[in-house]
Amino acid sequence: MSGLGEALKSFAVTRWVSRKSRKDFERWQARALRRWLDRDLPLASFYGKAPRHLDELPVTDKALLMSQFERFNIGGVSARDGWAAASADGRLGNLTIGASTGTSGNRGLFIISEAEKYRWLGAILAKAVPDLLWRRQRVAVILPQNTGLYDSARKSRRIDLRFFDLTLGPEHWRKALEDFAPTVIIAPPKMLRHFAAAGFRLKPLRVFSAAETLDPVDRPVIETFFGRPLDQIYMATEGLFAVTCRQGGLHLAEDSVFFEFEPVGDGLVTPLVTAFRRQTQIMARYRMNDLLRLSEAPCRCGSPLRTVDEIVGRMDDVFRLASVHGPILVTPDILRNAVLKADRRIDDFRLIQTAPDTVELRLAPNLADDAAAAALLAVRALLALRQATVSVDLVRAPLPLETARKLRRVEYRLRLT
């Protein structure tokens, strides 16, 4: 099948599945998962044969996948060849290889075929802009790296897609972006917020936050500037995991991923994902680093796909503290809310655990002293309530726009544990 054929088919399947009842959807999903377990998963040498049930398979994670990279892809491509290809043009024969951004040692490689690339494109269009495709859209993708995923869309009749390199900084491409006049913008929330702060000349029909956790503090700034609701695309090296529907529900991509959930307390879960439509790099029961709060109610749009109230942050950024009752975990959402609720004038901050018993609260120098004092007090009170053994220090310093790394307002910065 041609690339365009794959994209169209994927578009159609994605739309068709979204109209099923939950019961019919689950039946369809179970069949698709079973077929994948029988036909695709055994082709990766790590597995070798089909399991009777998914839950017989071990839980996997990034460290395992990266340490035995060649055993998780059906071509047996080694991590060494993968990294070499990713840092060159991202091609290895007819495969596309890309790497996630991140600190060294924590980066992931992905590997997909041409057909998968087009299927991914069809799925994302079906979820994100199905109602806009009656006329040609200009889509601006502003992400850290052009992974090659977007190349497939460039020349198509329905879409004019352009990539703007986040790491170069907006000063390098501001004019090009404004002249392009995108109708759809996909960018990390910090960049969308920068467009607002710097008054970029942009009038998109739809705006998506991607690649970083969307903090509630950024949403009103971005929505006011663009005069539109802000939608989300939740994707990672590991694939496409959720997209906002036209009713504002953030739907899990259960039509290509089977989700299991591990509870971590406070009503939050981390997902184990099984990507049952991927055929090149096999990903089964893979533990994601993200913290999700699942919705209880189905979405008004009628889609059978489950929704998420919020992607709260990353498990990596949970604070790990000692308390009089032993070790405790404090999740990023609770810490963030303590700071933001302390004073309405606070719309940016950094809260970093820098040592087992030390937390640093960073606030910009132009924030009023009484607001800063209130935030410090709020964080101290929260941690005292949990009876944590910790000191919280206030640092007044500028909070610049950083394009080389992901923005994490709440961050756990001890890595040697």
* Least spacing, CB of residue 245 vs Zn ion, in Å: 3
* Least spacing, CB of residue 300 vs Zn ion, in Å: 6
- Segment interacting with Zn ion, rule: CB under 5 A, options 107-115, 255-263, 295-303, 336-344: 295-303
**Footprint (CB under 5 A) of Zn ion, residues 241-270:** 245, 247, 249
Residue 304 binds to Zn ion (criterion: CB under 5 A): no
Q: Which is nearer to Zn ion, 279 or 303 (CB)?
A: 303
Q: Which is nearer to Zn ion, 13 or 41 (CB)?
A: 13
- Segment interacting with Zn ion, rule: CB under 5 A, options 48-56, 163-171, 211-219, 238-246: 238-246
* Least spacing, CB of residue 273 vs Zn ion, in Å: 20
- Segment interacting with Zn ion, rule: CB under 5 A, options 147-155, 157-165, 167-175, 301-309: 301-309
Q: Which is nearer to Zn ion, 301 or 374 (CB)?
A: 301
**What would the 3-class secondary structure string for the chain be?**
CCHHHHHHHHHHHHHHHCCCCHHHHHHHHHHHHHHHHHHCHHHCCCCCCCCCCHHHCCCECHHHHHHCHHHCECCCCCHHHHHHHHHCCCEECCEEEEECCCCCCCCCEEEEEHHHHHHHHHHHHHHHCHHHCCCCEEEEEEECCCCCCCHHHCCCCCEEEEEEEHHHCHHHCHHHHHHHCCCEEEECHHHHHHHHHCCCCCCCCEEEEECCCCCCCCHHHHHHHHCCCEEEEEEECCEEEEEECCCCCEEECCCCEEEEEEEEECCEEEEEEEECCCCCECCCCEECCEEEEECCCCCCCCCCCCEEEEEEEEHHHCEEEEECCEEEEECHHHHHHHHHHHCCCCCCCEEEEEECCEEEEEECCCCCHHHHHHHHHHHHHHHHHCCECCEEEEEECCCCCCCCCCCCCEEECCCCC
Q: Which is nearer to Zn ion, 308 or 363 (CB)?
A: 308
- Segment interacting with Zn ion, rule: CB under 5 A, options 50-58, 141-149, 189-197, 237-245: 237-245
Pick from 283, 299, 342, 407 the residue near Zn ion by CB under 5 A. 299
**Footprint (CB under 5 A) of Zn ion, residues 45-64:** none
Q: Which is nearer to Zn ion, 19 or 136 (CB)?
A: 19
* Least spacing, CB of residue 242 vs Zn ion, in Å: 11
Q: Which is nearer to Zn ion, 90 or 304 (CB)?
A: 304
Q: Which is nearer to Zn ion, 209 or 303 (CB)?
A: 303
- Segment interacting with Zn ion, rule: CB under 5 A, options 81-89, 107-115, 239-247, 279-287: 239-247
Residue 301 binds to Zn ion (criterion: CB under 5 A): yes
Q: Which is nearer to Zn ion, 280 or 303 (CB)?
A: 303
User: What is the binding site for Zn ion (CB under 5 A)?
Assistant: 245, 247, 249, 299, 301, 303
